[in-house]
Amino acid sequence: MTGWSTADIPRQRGRTAVITGATGGLGYETALALARAGANVVLTGRNGAKGQDALARIRAQLPDAAVIYETLDLASLASVADFAARFAASHDALDLLINNAAVMALPKRQVTSDGFEMQFGTNYLGHYALTAHLLPQLCRGQNTRVVNLSSLAHRTGAINFADLQSQRAYVPWRAYCQSKLAMLMFALELQRRSARNGWGIMSNAAHPGYARTELIPNGPGTDSLSWRLGRYLQPFMSHSAAAGALPTLFAATSPAAEPGGYYGPDWFYELKGPPVPARIMPQARDTVVAEQLWDVSAMLTGVSFDQIATAA
């Protein structure tokens, strides 16, 4: 695996991939690499203008790329369901789902259209519901993979069932850490359930390390201490969005990626460098909490994997 790069991506011709948050940053770089490898790529995002711009940039480099854009707002369960219905109407199968989109450490507590705390709702619950809605197509895919984007932030995360929506006390970074821990736990639990139920889905996770993307200025903003500190450390501690996408691409395409695997950069504290197996904290491996989180997520979103699997 040492030095793994986009040159090592197996040909993806004939495979269909859906990527959330694909209009910029990590999602865009992931989409570009998969399109270059021959995949049929569905870019999704909230902003149609950014979506069309992303398509234009990919097609400028890859005129024959099979890429389309579809609107998907993970902060709206109605938008998630609508996208899944549109996708099912035009695609019988889905081979690769990359749950990438995220918001980070919003200074003030905000809520989704369904009343969930914005980070937990967007980063985790939206992806939980999306994956469940797409389960029939995923089960009909070939060598199907689902990749969840977690973060180094999961290391200090905890699932607070007493206050999942941070209503009692909103601490921006704590809420972000919880959402990214939930994403890693979701990946591991999905793999366990896929194996148990015969869904044929390989579920794993990745994190980008410290990648230079719009995530920080779109979250805490340029006046925050974390942004100012990060600006000075970036030249030494970070890597590009394209490099940050490599762990995701490894998890999504490499024959060496494993079910329930977790991948991140190989340098100090997993901040930058080519992809290698990443450290999973003990709380992410807690199967009791993972099962409870799964059940609570079904209740909150009104979307049940078991019911969808049975109906399919």
Confidence grade of residue 213 (pLDDT, cut at 50, 70, 90): confident
Q: What is the dihedral of CA 199, 70, 258, 213, to 10 degrees?
A: -150
Q: Is the pLDDT of residue 146 over 70?
A: yes
Nearest-angstrom CA–CA distance, 137 and 248: 21
Mean pLDDT of 270-278: 95
Q: Which SS3 state, helix, strand or coil, does residue 31 take?
A: helix
Q: Is the pLDDT of residue 222 over 70?
A: no
3-state helix, strand and coil shares in percent for the chain, rounded to the nearest 5: 50, 15, 40
Nearest-angstrom CA–CA distance, 119 and 180: 9
Q: Which residues are catalytic?
A: 176
Q: Determine if the pTM surpasses 0.85.
A: yes
The first and second tokens of residue 291, run together, are: 């099962």
**Contact (Cβ atoms closer than 8 angstroms) between residue 48 and residue 23:** no
Mean pLDDT of 117-127: 98
Confidence grade of residue 216 (pLDDT, cut at 50, 70, 90): very low
Q: Is the pLDDT of residue 218 over 50?
A: no
**Contact (Cβ atoms closer than 8 angstroms) between residue 129 and residue 135:** no
pLDDT value at residue 236? 62
Residue-wise pLDDT tens digits, 8-63: 999 999 999 999 999 999 999 999 999 999 999 999 999 999 999 999 999 999 99
Q: Is the pLDDT of residue 157 over 90?
A: yes
**Contact (Cβ atoms closer than 8 angstroms) between residue 5 and residue 33:** no
List 117's β-bridge partners, or say none. 111
Q: Where are the domains of the chain?
A: 6-311
**Contact (Cβ atoms closer than 8 angstroms) between residue 157 and residue 149:** no
Nearest-angstrom CA–CA distance, 16 and 137: 11
Half-sphere exposure for 53 (CA within 13 Å, toward CB): 8
**Contact (Cβ atoms closer than 8 angstroms) between residue 71 and residue 45:** yes
Nearest-angstrom CA–CA distance, 110 and 119: 8
- From residue 280, alpha-carbon distances to 12, 119, 246, 260 in Å are 29, 21, 18, 11
Mean pLDDT of 138-163: 98
Per cent of the chain over pLDDT 90 is 86
pLDDT value at residue 217? 44
The more confidently predicted of residues 194 and 211 is: 194
pLDDT value at residue 234? 59
**Contact (Cβ atoms closer than 8 angstroms) between residue 74 and residue 101:** yes
Residue-wise pLDDT tens digits, 68-120: 999 999 999 999 999 999 999 999 999 999 999 999 999 999 999 999 999 99
Mean pLDDT rounded to a whole number for the chain = 93
Mean pLDDT of 171-192: 98
In CATH, which of 3.40.50.720, 3.40.720.10, 3.40.50.700, 3.90.1150.10 is domain 6-311? 3.40.50.720
